Structure 1
Amino acid sequence: MGADLLPRSILQQYDLRKDVWGLLPPMTTPRYDAITHLIGSKLYVAGGRQCKRPVKAFEAYDTETRSWTSLPALPCKRTYAGVLWDPDGRLCLLGGLRQGGGHQSSKFTKNINVFDTNQGSWLKSDDIVSMKSKRADFAAAFLRGRMVVAGGLGHEPSALDTVEAFHPQKKKWEKLAPMNFPRCSASSIVIRDRFLVVGGVNQVKMLAPQLSRRS
């Protein structure tokens, strides 16, 4: 994705049968640490950073037409957020680091922004319930109809072990059993209604709130 001061806009594709990499049309906005999610034939790319500062850019790549479309900008500049797609065709951006006003540094957030992929617009924040804890760089999944987030970084000096889930009927977030080990930067996947959180980092050298690049 390039260095802090030289973000890239390239999109590459690997062909398993030919064992070769090919270049696809580049993004409109060069960036790194962007949030990506594939829905149908479209790859959504939200936020990210340029020169260590979060951006609002939001665009989608159509794998069928091989073209990019610029979408309505994020409600706030954001990076290191969680991303989920709910059954109603909405793309949910959870938590992350958002840019403060003026020259303020980035701050952890518990806010959620929801993009309606059918209407092509962001929903009003008044209709959305924020998470209990501010966090970034965490694992997220849609499990049995509930959004679940685990670990990440917050205002604590070390990674988080806390887990919470959104109950759609009660319209509130509820705490779940914590992970065995605190960690951030983990990979995750859902297999047969089980949320697997893989790897990660549990010792952080004062990265908050700017989340400097890890070595």
Structure 2
Amino acid sequence: KTHDYVKDNSECKPIIISTLTAMYNLSTSNAFLPNCISPLARPRLPYSILFAIGGWSGGSPTNAIETYDTRADKWVNVTCHEESPRAYHGAAFLKGFVYIIGGFDSVDYFNSVKRFDPVKKTWQQVAPMHSRRCYVSVAVLNDFIYAMGGFDGYTRLNTAERYEPETNQWTLIAPMHEQRSDAG
């Protein structure tokens, strides 16, 4: 964009404009793709994106999803209205996917896990946990997702389990010494 050869070349200007538009516009639809002059100008999801998925809003769980682009200082609503509301869940990012783990919808406590592909903007159900958990603590370590403690609708939990994406399986690990939920 600043190199003399590029900025003074009339053939490069449309490519630069398309690329910059795609880079800074998360709401770019797939309709843009066929009009791209160059495959280099296709939109990509930047690494500096934050996700706010579900939660509690207006007195009940919500299915709202917003992304924040730190470079543009802009929030974009990317809610998938087909998804059911979910609050008090855990979230993790692993190998390009966002995982939503457990949670509560004001009626049911979930052991379900959903995986979001931010590039394709699609959800996929993956293997459920062994226990229902809301207020669950979630962490990623060595390519595993860990779910620890939580509340199953009756009691605080001391159980913990880990998810291996390659096998799509949850495995129980040693329980914690104390029952707990909401741990950081």
CA distance in 2, matches of 1:44, 1:79: 14
Give the match for residue 72 of structure 2.
65
The TM-score normalised by the length of structure 2 is 0.69
**Match of 2:113, as an amino acid?**
I
Equivalent residue, structure 2, for 1:55: 62
Q: What is residue 116 of structure 2 aligned with on the other side? A: 115
Give the alignment of 1:86-125 within 5 angstroms. Answer: 86-87=94-95, 89-98=96-105, 105-123=106-124, 125=125
Residue 153 of structure 2 is matched in structure 1 by 155
Residue 80 (structure 1) aligns with = 88
Letter in 2 for 1:83: A
More helix, by proportion: 2
1:165 shift after superposition: 0.9
Of residues 20, 41, 47 in structure 2, which corresponds to 1:40? Answer: 47
Equivalent residues in 2 for 1:128-207, closer than 5 Å: 128-156=126-154, 158-187=155-184
The answer on whether the counterparts of 2:162 and 2:170 sit within 8 Å (CA) in structure 1 is yes
**1:109 positional shift:** 0.5
Deviations 1:38-89 (A, max 9, x none): x8311211111124310111010111111111113262100110000011x1
Tell me the matched-pair count.
138
Counterparts of 2:169 and 2:72, CA distance in 1:
40
| TM-superposed deviation, 1:92 | 0.5
Does the 8 Å CA contact 2:63/2:79 hold for their aligned counterparts? Answer: no
Deviation at 1:169, TM superposition (A): 4.3
Task: Describe the SS at the equivalent of 1:107.
Answer: coil
* Alpha carbons of structure 1 residues 181 and 73: separation in structure 2 relative to 1, 3 Å: same
TM-score calculated relative to the size of structure 1: 0.60
* 8 A Cα contact 2:93 2:99, kept in partner: yes
In structure 2, C-alpha distance between the alignment counterparts of 1:155 and 1:122, rounded to whole Å: 26
What is the percentage of aligned positions where both structures have the same residue? 28
The RMSD of aligned alpha carbons is 1.7
Unaligned runs of 5+ in 2: 1-45
Tell me if structure 2 keeps the 8 A contact 1:72–1:121: no
**CA deviation map 1:175-198 (0-9, x unaligned):** 1000011111110xxxxxxxxxxx
Cα distance in 2 for partners of 1:43, 1:51 equals: 22
Distance 1:56 1:178 in 2: 31
Letter aligned with residue 113 of structure 1: K
- Larger of the two Rg values belongs to structure: 2
Question: Which amino acid in the other structure matches residue 47 of structure 1?
Answer: G
- Residues 84, 142 of structure 1: 8 Å contact kept: yes
